[in-house]
């Protein structure tokens, strides 16, 4: 409940104007729905006493009231989706920003299917609940109005309706625990099924090459069958309980009308009042259905919030750090007694090093995990357990991210390109397209791009016919486009053909006069261009 109240307060602060509009429209809708059966019952009463003139006037007035009701129904839909869209955009953006603020280690707790369902499905559940919550709150007030009306008619109507509602509500809440457990299982099965579908699509080349569709299908079918089974169990539990509750209310509605008929016979109220009782009991049924739905939706909300908070809880705090201008940074890097990785089997253990600015430093050795770990730490993709990493004597975790990522950039062999044109891939890093063309020409990328049918407008997909060499040059070009003080390159340089490796090294030698350049490589040609060489072996860093 504490978590729910916290999120409710947050939701109200996100879209206060939209909430006010939705509340106003909801109040008007529910008020008009209470007025319509009253006006209709009065017209029936006038008919029974042969006052047709007043009956006609009231029935004509219902046309106007119904028009106003439909108008507010339409306005409510408009206001509803404005509120929903604002909440969805907020939670979706929050999920994406918290993804960036998580370390890679934290994100490894999520499967692709689970992550996708959190960012899309769970965000929808949260946004829907806090949007529909308005009309449901108004419906609770409507309950009170109906109970007061029943009390004004006869104490038995009041007692019966209140006791029935409270008993049914208590049973529904208790049964909600069962539904929540079943829903958690359903969500887990959905995550597994979604992950399997992603895996099938991402590995379609292997599936086709090894001709293992039948094997993959059998495994995937088990995941689908498991989800369908869990989903059917959830739907069965929800619908059976819902229908049982509604049946009980229907029985009591008819019994109340029978009792009302007895009171009419006794002359205690008019025939039209029976219509009001019948209609208001229908509203109790409708509202109770809504309350039942709210109970189930609340259970779903708790599940979704718990899943969503898994993404949030380990993300970095959105605290403003030191703002530095890259022109004020020399680019020196210090690792001071770093412990990184699993504590019982670390990637780096008590590792220290000094990287001088305005130089090319090569990280050599066969410990690829440690080499990549150094880059992950420098790029703030993960954090160390012990020790300190500094740039110009500033702890990198104290530097504001906006400032920090202007200082540092990387090109790594496993980097991904965006599914858009080559031009957009470049200007996504720096919108100076002339600079992008200049760098592309300097490193030999332009010549390869111009051989493509659509040149820089070539859209990059899995099936775009570009060579691995071209792909790596494009990754390097994006890194160089950032114009950052510190440039990190893994063995991507040594993976190029000889011609383009020479072009890259020549350009890097020009840049080193005011840049700090780190390259991972065991190539003698690349090491020969280095000002400093560090050996990364046995989880340690030593001068070579």
Domain boundaries, given as residue ranges, for the chain: 2-313, 326-543
**Which range, 75-84, 285-294, 410-419, has the best average confidence (pLDDT)?**
75-84
Q: ∠207-208-214 over CA atoms, to 5°? A: 60
What is the fold of 2-313?
ABC transporter transmembrane region fold (1.20.1560)
Phi, psi of 364 (to 5 degrees): -110, 180
What's the confidence (pLDDT) of residue 319? 63
From 243-247, 343-347, 496-500, the region with the lowest mean pLDDT? 243-247
Quick check: 338 and 389 in contact, CB under 8 A? yes
CB environment 406-442: b (16+ within 10 A), e (fewer):
bbbbbbbbebebeeebbbebbbebeeeeeebbebbeb
pLDDT above 90 coverage of the chain, percent: 38
Instruction: Give the whole-angstrom CA distance, residue 220 versus residue 212.
Output: 12
Closest CA to 36 of 8, 57, 65: 65
| pLDDT, greater one: 499 or 303 | 499
Instruction: Give the whole-angstrom CA distance, residue 74 versus residue 83.
Output: 14
Strand partners, 333: 355, 391
What's the confidence (pLDDT) of residue 492? 93
Instruction: Quickly state the pLDDT bin for 530 (edges 50, 70, 90).
Output: very high
397 token code pair: 């975790």
Closest CA to 401 of 319, 522, 488: 319
Strand partners, 540: 537
pLDDT digits (tens, 9 = 90+) for 112-169: 778 888 889 999 999 999 999 899 889 888 888 988 988 888 888 888 888 887 887 7
From 85-89, 251-255, 331-335, the region with the lowest mean pLDDT? 251-255
User: Residue 375 pLDDT more than 70?
Assistant: yes
What's the confidence (pLDDT) of residue 212? 60
Instruction: Quickly state the pLDDT bin for 455 (edges 50, 70, 90).
Output: very high
pLDDT digits (tens, 9 = 90+) for 170-219: 777 777 677 778 888 888 888 888 877 767 766 666 565 555 667 667 76
- If you average pLDDT over residues 503-531, what whole number do you get? 93
Three-state secondary structure string covering 402-417 = HHHHHHEEEECCCCCC
Instruction: Quickly state the pLDDT bin for 324 (edges 50, 70, 90).
Output: confident
505 token code pair: 């090294």
Quick check: 430 and 481 in contact, CB under 8 A? yes
- State the DSSP code for 325: -
Quick check: 477 and 439 in contact, CB under 8 A? yes
What's the confidence (pLDDT) of residue 202? 67
Q: Do domains 2-313 and 326-543 have the same CATH topology?
A: no
Residues 6 or more apart whose Cβ sits within 8 Å of residue 203? none
What's the confidence (pLDDT) of residue 339? 92
Chosen CATH of 326-543 out of 3.40.50.10490, 3.40.720.10, 3.40.50.300, 3.30.1370.10:
3.40.50.300
């Amino acid at each position: 409940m504490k978590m729910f109240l916290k999120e409710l307060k947050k939701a109200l602060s996100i879209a206060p104007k939209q909430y006010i509009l939705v509340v106003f429209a909801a109040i008007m809708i529910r008020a008009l729905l209470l007025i319509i059966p009253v006006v209709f019952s009065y017209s029936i009463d006038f008919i029974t006493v042969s006052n047709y003139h007043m009956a006609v006037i009231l029935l004509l007035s219902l046309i106007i009231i119904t028009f106003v009701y439909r108008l507010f129904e339409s306005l409510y839909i408009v206001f509803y989706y404005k509120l929903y869209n604002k909440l969805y955009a907020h939670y979706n953006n929050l999920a994406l920003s918290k993804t960036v603020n998580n370390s890679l280690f934290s994100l490894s707790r999520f499967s692709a299917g689970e992550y996708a369902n959190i960012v899309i499905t769970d965000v929808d559940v949260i946004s829907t609940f806090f949007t529909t919550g308005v009309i449901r709150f108004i419906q609770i007030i409507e309950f009170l109005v109906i109970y007061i009306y029943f009390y004004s008619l006869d104490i038995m109507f009041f007692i019966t309706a209140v006791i029935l509602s409270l008993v049914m509500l208590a049973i529904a809440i208790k049964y909600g625990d069962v539904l929540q457990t079943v829903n958690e299982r359903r969500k887990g099965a959905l995550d597994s099924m979604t992950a399997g579908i992603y895996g099938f699509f991402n590995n379609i080349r292997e599936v086709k090459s090894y001709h293992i569709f039948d094997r993959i299908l059998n495994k995937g079918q088990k995941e689908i069958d498991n989800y369908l089974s869990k989903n059917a169990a959830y739907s069965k539990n929800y619908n059976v309980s819902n229908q049982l509750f509604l049946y009980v209310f229907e029985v009591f509605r008819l019994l109340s009308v029978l009792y009302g008929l007895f009171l009419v016979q006794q002359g205690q109220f008019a025939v039209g009042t029976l219509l009001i009782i019948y209609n208001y009991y229908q509203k109790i049924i409708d509202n109770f259905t809504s309350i039942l739905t709210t109970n189930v939706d609340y259970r779903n909300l708790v599940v979704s919030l718990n899943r969503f908070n898994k993404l949030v809880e380990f993300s970095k705090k959105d605290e403003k750090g030191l703002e530095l201008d890259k022109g004020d940074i020399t680019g020196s890097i210090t690792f001071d007694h770093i412990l990184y990785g699993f504590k019982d089997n670390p990637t780096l253990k008590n590792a220290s090093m000094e990287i001088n600015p305005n130089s090319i430093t090569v990280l050599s050795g066969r410990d690829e995990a440690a080499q990549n770990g150094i880059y992950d730490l420098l790029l703030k993709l993960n954090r160390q357990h012990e020790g300190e990493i500094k740039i110009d004597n500033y702890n990198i975790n104290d530097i504001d991210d906006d400032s920090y990522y202007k200082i540092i950039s990387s090109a790594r062999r496993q980097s991904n390109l965006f599914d858009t044109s080559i031009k957009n891939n470049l200007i996504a890093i720096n919108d100076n397209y002339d600079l992008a063309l200049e760098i592309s020409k300097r490193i030999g990328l332009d010549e390869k791009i111009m051989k493509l049918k659509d040149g820089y407008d070539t859209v990059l997909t899995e099936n775009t016919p570009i060579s691995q060499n071209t792909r790596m040059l494009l990754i390097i070009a994006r890194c160089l486009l950032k114009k950052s003080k510190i440039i990190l390159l893994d063995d991507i340089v040594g993976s190029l053909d000889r011609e383009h490796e020479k072009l890259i090294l020549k350009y890097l030698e020009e840049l080193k006069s005011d840049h700090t350049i780190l390259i991972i490589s065991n190539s003698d040609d690349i090491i020969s261009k280095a000002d400093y060489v560090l050996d990364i072996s046995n989880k340690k860093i030593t001068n070579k």
